[in-house]
Amino acid sequence: MFKGSITALITPLRNGKIDEKAFQDFVEWQIKQGSHGLVPCGTTGESPTLDHNEHERVIDLCIESANKKVPVIAGTGSNSTDEAISLTKYSKKAGADAALVVTPYYNKPTQEGIYQHFKAINDSCDLPIVIYNIPGRSVIDIDIDTMIKLAKLKNIVGVKDSSNDLTRPLLTSQSISKDFCQISGEDATVVPFLSQGGHGCISVTANIAPKLCSELHNAWQKNNLKKVKLLNSYLFPLHNALFLETSPGPVKYAASLLRICSDELRLPLVKISSINKKKIKNTLSKLKLKPIKK
């Protein structure tokens, strides 16, 4: 259903508020650069510190600017099942193409609890759901038996996998279906993920280099492995630079260098260190990534 380079959008801020113009300009630029899809209100979009109204507003702004040109997969996850249902219902009404729903963080549910959480969301709203499995942030991991059960539910169409287990996509495709959408959440390992049966990547790097990221996936789909290898090697230093500190700190600083938006974050995240700013600046310079002309 979903494939290619799907950008995990940052949320531009100015003086503590959402910079709506910068965000919509950014969405339009992403589409012009060839991104295959957009994810507002994911972790990269600082969803944990957006209040409910802001969360809904960012989804609305993205859908409005995308204008059906590319799919919008709205981040609607929460560790409260009721809140996740509310955000998913809102996204359906707003016109999103799907919802990205993270595993319940902090609560540490059992595998049965994970299943019942996603089943409740599935049963409450007729919108395609992509499960977001990220053990590094939510502590819990969805095992393959639970994923098999979840894949049988009507609205569960795929997974964004950030487990860093590159056996997972092959195991999933063999245990569930090759049609079950598998999207990487790790830029640096996207090519081996694709080679094991993956379909695309929900990408942090695509915030900064959307054209290069989309070209890599286009080349993969055309079986142009020589170009894939070239682009993968070229992008690798940027992947590393954008995770020198907790995301989205580094990617927001890189975005500020490209004049996309300010590098403002919300506490408890803070601006990145001077030494890492220098490393990111040097990386952008070496890759010849220049400020956007407006």
Distance CA 19, CA 66 (A): 17
Instruction: State the alpha helices, DSSP H only, in the chain.
Output: 20-32, 52-66, 81-94, 111-124, 135-138, 144-151, 168-175, 190-195, 210-221, 225-241, 249-257, 274-286
Parallel, antiparallel or unpaired: strands 200-203 and 4-8: parallel
Please list the residues that pair with 158 across neighbouring strands.
130, 181
Helix (H, G, I), strand (E, B) or coil at 277: helix
**Judging by beta carbons within 10 Å of its beta carbon (0-12, 13-18, 19+), is residue 160 exposed, middle or buried?**
buried
Neighbours of 82 (CB within 10 A): 11
- From 3, 92, 160, 252, the catalytic residue: 160
Q: Among 92, 132, 252, 277, which one carries the catalytic annotation?
A: 132
| Beta carbons within 10 angstroms of residue 270's beta carbon | 11
Quote the Cα angle for 240-243-246, to 5°. 170
Residue 132 is a catalytic residue: yes
Question: Is-contact 14 264, C-beta < 8 A?
Answer: yes
Dihedral (C-alpha) 130, 173, 134, 205: value to the nearest 10 degrees? -80
Is 160 catalytic? The answer is yes
Q: Which of 62, 87, 92, 65 has its CA nearest to residue 76? A: 87
- What is the rounded distance in angstroms from the CA atom of residue 227 to the CA atom of residue 219? 6
Which residues are designated catalytic?
132, 160
